[in-house]
A and B are shown apart, each in its own frame.
Chain A
Amino acid sequence: MNRRTLLAAGATAAFAAALGAPLRANGKIKVGFIYVGPINDGGWTQHHHHSAKEMVEHFGDAVDFVYQENVPEGPDAERAITQMCLGGADIIFTTSFGFMDPTINVAKKFPNVKFEHATGYKQADNVSVYSARFYEGRAIQGTLAGRVTKTNKVGYIASVPIPEVVRGINSAFIHARKVNPDVEFKIVWIFEWLNPAKEADAAKALIEQGCDVVLQHTDSTAPHAAAKEAGGVYTFGQAADMAEYGPMPRISSIIDNWAPYYIARVQAALDGTWSSVNTWDGISTGMVGIGEISDAVPAEVKAEAEAMRDAIAAGEYHPFTGPINKQDGSVWLADGEIADDGALAGLNFYVEGITGNIPS
């Protein structure tokens, strides 16, 4: 294709021509992954990569696996995704919120490629979105935190002020208060997902302020190391089990497990049954895994937390069930009312009892 015909036909037509055949005739499928971090970050990206590899193992030779790590969110992401399409990818998973607009833009140019965007809200005919209900795991952490704390001060290392993080804080707080009315949360925002030095500083500051439980929405094990050094402080694994820090300080964890979803979606693409969906799964499908609760927790507390886990998995209990008031005291959920997914997806306020403001 020379330059003149390209200009005449326009870019879109050129892309379509460059990528004529949708699926390989021999039943082989090329699956691409775009990662925001390095594949060994110990948290978010590593778990997407692990799950992707599990998916590749599941399908064996039927899958041709490509990935690009450390892709910055912005114009470079659009190029990285396009590169994969040009390289003949049939289905591409873009695994960070910041890849949302780039994914949508590229998807317009490659109508025959299927896209799966993690944690976003923009869908298209060839773009699915998927995310995990991590707040379900937070409810269990909150319960444990409320039970084990002796100082009644719980520290929370928050990452970036987006609804997912706010949901986690609210869910943990609601359940900590439920079992311990005197509990207070101290929240530190570090504005990053992964920064061991800042995470360690935040953990130390929280511990010095008297927190004997530290929850984290950041990906490194640095807070665990700080807690171990201080002694008598409880922590929770994030994204990974972080079992190497058990039984103390790490007493449980939230584990990201995308493998079942990846296997299902690639299978659908292979079968020709793929269609654009909006998936938000939690403990019930295994997308949110709850790490083994360690023996440092009293047996009756462990049983209580496990009962809650099973109730959530069975769909008998929703962590956001009223009565719940907003921070300013106004009613959010009436008695027995359950928050709808739309409200949860855009959640941008604290519930009653949490002090401080969400950064803006």
Chain B
Amino acid sequence: MIRLEKRKQTSRFWTYVTPILAVVLTMIFGGVLFAILGKDPVLAIKTIFWDPVFGEFAFYYRPEVLKKAAPLILIAIGLSYGFKAGIWNIGAEGQYIIGAICAAGVALAFYPMEGRWFIFPLMIVAGVLGGMIWAMVPALLRVYFKTNEILVSLMLVYVADVLIKAFSIGLMRNPDGHGFPGSRNLNDYSSAANLELIAGTGLHWGVIAAMGVVVASYAILARHQFGFHVRLTGESPRAAGFAGVNANRLIMVCFLISGGLAGVAGMFEVSGPAAQILGSFPSAYGFTAIIVAFLGRLNPIGILLAGLLLALTYVGGGAAETAMNIPSATIQIFQGMLLFVLLSVDVLTNYRLRWAAKAGGV
């Protein structure tokens, strides 16, 4: 009988090496998968991971990776606070959707008035507040009624999903849209558009915000007392209580941060790449960000790198689909495998395998 035994101390070295190991293992397993499908595994891996960054058309793909990574990084950074403290906001996808709805609502309310200097900032505020309000529901229920925040936040994703579908055919439907669902195209409304700041670079306000949040988050977690409280609560809730950490307030603050960042990610997306409120707007960024947060070891720099990597698998994966006729499901399996492998490798970082005579253990 194999038994898992918790290691007394996890090696710092392995903590940082395991994500890289997981990526390499995923590439190997993925390669086998491609080979079984009769595709050249080396070419497939190269198409996914190398070509978008260094290949012939990198000038187009690099900005695409940035645009795809920005919402992932924003959401994952927000989630990392709660996850560090053992507070599980699984519903970032819902907060992302509500942020987008609120921001688009502001834009559509002012359409066609010109005034970027106040409309665009107001949309950002609306996005943040929308995400925060949606995140407060599971936070308050947890604090006052001891409900499970995982379930409540997750269920609210489906509510948000229904809301955006309803808005896209109802309240926010484009009156000039020939009866089709979907709001006006915000990219065509200069006061609300979140376009590339320098053409061809992919840099829009969301990318800049993501970078800023990474830096700020790094400073808060390393230097600020709040960062200390978050880490302490995660490692030892009892000790945190003795240190004067108000557990309920921490829950609220963590949900406010993750909800606000998810909401603003939705704002940058709906005013930029997505361009409109549409039933197909939800693209599971809020769920993928959970993978990003863990792959990045809940560390801001790690999340930055993990976000870029996941974005790369989307962009490169799409390229592999067309270039090599790989079925889209294979790419999704590939992404899922990444988290699965990481979690497996993590078990071995935190636990050691022991051969034991009798069953039991952790």
Chain A residues near B (Cβ < 8 Å): 1, 3, 6-7, 10-11, 14-15, 18, 32, 38, 66-76, 78-80, 82-84, 86-87, 97-98, 101, 121, 160-163, 166, 191, 345-348, 359-360
Contact of B280 with A by CB under 8 A: yes
Known A-B contacts A74-B274, A76-B318, A101-B275; the reply to A161 vs B325 at CB < 8 A is no
Contact partner, B199, options A10, A70, A76, Cβ 8 Å: A10
Separation of A101 and B180 alpha carbons in the complex (Å): 13
Interface residues on B, range: 35 or more
Question: Is A74 a contact partner of B328 (Cβ separation < 8 A)?
Answer: no
Contact partner, A6, options B59, B67, B327, Cβ 8 Å: B59
Question: Is B278 a contact partner of A7 (Cβ separation < 8 A)?
Answer: no
Q: Flag B58-79 by CB within 8 Å of A: 1 or 0 each.
A: 0110001001000000000000
Q: Provide the residues of chain B in CB contact with A101, threshold 8 Å.
A: 185, 275-276
Separation of A163 and B198 alpha carbons in the complex (Å): 39
Question: Is A75 a contact partner of B273 (Cβ separation < 8 A)?
Answer: yes
Separation of A87 and B321 alpha carbons in the complex (Å): 12
Nearest A residue to B171 via CB reads A360
Contact partner, A10, options B185, B200, B275, B323, Cβ 8 Å: B200
Separation of A256 and B5 alpha carbons in the complex (Å): 61
Contact partner, A163, options B180, B182, B278, B314, Cβ 8 Å: B180
16 contacts across the A-B interface (CB closer than 8 A): A6-B59, A6-B200, A7-B199, A10-B199, A11-B199, A11-B200, A72-B283, A79-B315, A84-B322, A87-B322, A87-B323, A98-B182, A161-B169, A162-B181, A163-B178, A191-B279
Nearest B residue to A40 via CB reads B327
Nearest A residue to B188 via CB reads A101
Contact partner, A82, options B60, B275, B321, B328, Cβ 8 Å: B60
Known A-B contacts A18-B57, A72-B283; the reply to A162 vs B328 at CB < 8 A is no
Question: Is A7 a contact partner of B200 (Cβ separation < 8 A)?
Answer: yes
Chain B residues near A (Cβ < 8 Å): 57, 59-60, 64, 67, 165, 169-170, 173, 178-182, 185, 198-201, 269, 273-276, 278-281, 283, 314-315, 318-319, 321-323, 325, 327-329
Separation of A79 and B316 alpha carbons in the complex (Å): 11
Known A-B contacts A1-B59, A67-B325; the reply to A191 vs B178 at CB < 8 A is no
Question: Is A3 a contact partner of B179 (Cβ separation < 8 A)?
Answer: no
Question: Is B319 a contact partner of A83 (Cβ separation < 8 A)?
Answer: yes
Q: Provide the residues of chain B in CB contact with A14, threshold 8 Å.
A: 59, 200
Q: Provide the residues of chain B in CB contact with A73, threshold 8 Å.
A: 278, 280
Question: Is B59 a contact partner of A97 (Cβ separation < 8 A)?
Answer: no
Nearest B residue to A65 via CB reads B325
Separation of A126 and B341 alpha carbons in the complex (Å): 46
Question: Is B327 a contact partner of A69 (Cβ separation < 8 A)?
Answer: yes
Question: Is B169 a contact partner of A76 (Cβ separation < 8 A)?
Answer: no
Q: Provide the residues of chain A in CB contact with B170, threshold 8 Å.
A: 359-360
Question: Is A74 a contact partner of B281 (Cβ separation < 8 A)?
Answer: yes
Nearest A residue to B165 via CB reads A191
Q: Provide the residues of chain A in CB contact with B325, threshold 8 Å.
A: 66-67
Separation of A71 and B327 alpha carbons in the complex (Å): 11
Q: Provide the residues of chain A in CB contact with B201, threshold 8 Å.
A: 7
Rounded to whole Å, the gap between the CB of B205 and the closest CB of chain A is: 15
Question: Is B180 a contact partner of A97 (Cβ separation < 8 A)?
Answer: yes
Separation of A67 and B323 alpha carbons in the complex (Å): 9
Question: Is B179 a contact partner of A79 (Cβ separation < 8 A)?
Answer: no
